[in-house]
Structure 1
């Protein structure tokens, strides 16, 4: 929808600050080792046919060994169920949990695909809020109030999408204690850890040099600082907390400072037309009159995009 509002006569490049996949940008390209591992797995002819429904054993063994780091106990390959990305993972677990009359607790704001999949599985959706004034912590009192004998699980996205938060250990401990008291499962969505698959996984997990991940983290750190500092220069936009993870930040619109913008969707559509910048309206992730900004983009483009947003807001500011 937002792309339809772009002005074809604008000679400037479109700045995408609403995307969820940064791999198109040079700074965030996958390591060549991972690309080579995928090609090698394909050419080996060992993994080109049907595999076990839970994933091939070498990949599950590699995942178990990797995920066991820092745990007081060791995971086995039997503890691992590999899926074709996050979409299949959500479909699988929600289908397993679904039963007549069951409900699931989802964070607001959150990842919209959970709602769609829950609806497909006939699970009732109940939302608990993430509190922006507390670095987007879970409102645990709301979780307890929403839960009943038909609640099957609650979802935690950490690092957060769309908020960019990272829950502290003490808060995660409280989440676990609350879930244990209520007798419900916690679905821990940690999708921003690693995205790999199949026969290439052992080589990727074992051999990817740590400096590759350090380079990505350093680039994201630079982008976070740019994003946070530039947003503070825009009076009609407030950022409640600096992002600590993932590649997103949620910012609040103060519509009272703008004279001809009716809501977050209107803001994003007009921004696309006038400045060729794409950002996601908050209503798409459950928070009306907020915006989700993706900072996983080349720093120079991020600077340009945020500068255009500032110019847009100045142009639409209410006259004093």
Structure 2
């Protein structure tokens, strides 16, 4: 009996498979802009990378032995399997005790362990924002905030920071952006990229705006206590009536960004966030918890690292800032802004005083090509014609980078020649 079935294979569509809106809306501004940079270092000069906010890059900022020992000791425990998604109770208790103050007492129930501070920010923004609930972000600001918001379809608005006033928030502009759909204000203190640290007076002004409009604050405090001068504190410690979701972690203060353990601390003195706290637990369950080995070591880390380590880190960062500022302040074509904390310095580019450079992207491209110095263009952070320098490089590299930047600016300084538009020969 003959079979009438055809032996031909069905035709296969050649059309491309579409990605989801979630994927399409997930954009990392750093990656997008850096991918556009033309990076061709001068082969005769060592490339000096002052672009990455990773304190471990140069090998001169290392975690203290107590941190390494805590993880080594924890290898002998049973931290091999799944644990509660929002963290081990001993770890949460240790963090609560570490950050408790007389004015802001905390318990383990106020702490949620996350996969790094960036994950804490994701959880906080996911829990408060929505397609109708916008979040206010700083400009200039850390671009990951936009990445998280775009991924979830959360609308954002940008409030200005005032460079001439040590990068404080333009409170008038901030308040103008608030509407009936605003869900939260996100603040960064100390700041990446600005290196600023708000005074307590300014923090109280911010809290008054939030209280007036009945808004919670998401506080990116990954650089908390890494302050060179001034009286800056945690927003959670200062707030009486405004609910605070404080995001932190091991990455910067303990110099281990690759270990990916962070935390979200809820300061809620009037118990207004009961539903939010339930939502935080649910959102932590998306990835079933942070690294069990490292978070199991956190109690020992917080108990054994001496205060001298924290003080030494801040002293060394302040010295690096002093070196950069003293070396760069006399170059007419740029203007450094002395930081007050964190690991960064912002430098303004006076493009009107440079003959053949029209923006920060071109400045960085040519600086790499001619002098092999790589700062980060501040377009990435939402502000044009600035670059960000990291403070974690060794002193000899910082001084050499400043020398090369000075030579570069001298070569390109305006000499009564017409300005060239970008893209023209």
Q: Do both proteins adopt the same fold according to a TM-score greater than 0.5, normalized to the shorter chain?
A: yes
Structure 1 residue ranges, 4+ long, deviating more than 4 angstroms after superposition: none
Instruction: Quickly say closer, same or farther: Cα 1:152–1:308, change in 2 above 3 A.
Output: same
CA distance in 2, matches of 1:256, 1:303: 26
Matched residue SS, 2:137: strand
Instruction: Quickly say closer, same or farther: Cα 1:91–1:36, change in 2 above 3 A.
Output: same
Instruction: Give the CA RMSD over aligned residues.
Output: 1.5
Superimposed CA distance per residue, residues 172-216 of structure 1 (whole angstroms, 9 cap, x where no aligned partner): 001011001111111111112351640111111110012212221
Which structure 2 segments of 5+ residues have no match?
1-34, 225-248, 252-260, 262-294, 417-425
Query: Aligned residue pairs: how many?
Result: 316
- Deviation, 1:28, is 0.8
CA distance in 2, matches of 1:267, 1:74: 48
Residue of structure 2 in register with 1:9 after alignment: 43
Matched residue SS, 1:187: strand
CA distance in 2, matches of 1:163, 1:98: 25
Matched residue SS, 2:135: strand
- Deviation, 1:65, is 0.2
Is the CA contact 1:2–1:272 (under 8 Å) kept in the aligned structure 2? no
Residue of structure 1 in register with 2:103 after alignment: 72
Residue of structure 2 in register with 1:227 after alignment: 324
Residue of structure 1 in register with 2:190 after alignment: 159
> 2:373 pairs with 277, 290, 308, which one?
277
Residue of structure 1 in register with 2:68 after alignment: 35
Is the CA contact 2:190–2:223 (under 8 Å) kept in the aligned structure 1? yes
- Deviation, 1:135, is 0.9
- Deviation, 1:59, is 0.7
CA distance in 2, matches of 1:152, 1:3: 35
> 2:250 pairs with 161, 171, 195, which one?
195
Is the CA contact 1:272–1:278 (under 8 Å) kept in the aligned structure 2? yes
Is the CA contact 2:183–2:215 (under 8 Å) kept in the aligned structure 1? yes
Matched residue SS, 1:26: coil
Superimposed CA distance per residue, residues 49-75 of structure 1 (whole angstroms, 9 cap, x where no aligned partner): 11111111111011000000x332420
> 1:204 pairs with 293, 301, 309, which one?
301
Superimposed CA distance per residue, residues 48-105 of structure 1 (whole angstroms, 9 cap, x where no aligned partner): 211111111111011000000x332420000001111022112211111132311110
* Corresponding position: 1:183 with 2:238: no
Q: TM-score, normalised by structure 2?
A: 0.72
Which structure 1 segments of 5+ residues have no match?
none
* Corresponding position: 1:214 with 2:311: yes
CA distance in 2, matches of 1:13, 1:71: 51
CA distance in 2, matches of 1:304, 1:81: 43
* Corresponding position: 1:244 with 2:244: no
Residue of structure 2 in register with 1:58 after alignment: 90
* Corresponding position: 1:147 with 2:181: no
Is the CA contact 2:41–2:372 (under 8 Å) kept in the aligned structure 1? yes
CA distance in 2, matches of 1:14, 1:32: 30
Matched residue SS, 1:63: helix
CA distance in 1, matches of 2:131, 2:142: 24
Stretch deviating more after TM superposition (44-53 or 56-65): 44-53
- Deviation, 1:8, is 6.0
CA distance in 2, matches of 1:124, 1:287: 19
Q: TM-score, normalised by structure 1?
A: 0.95
Is the CA contact 1:268–1:281 (under 8 Å) kept in the aligned structure 2? yes
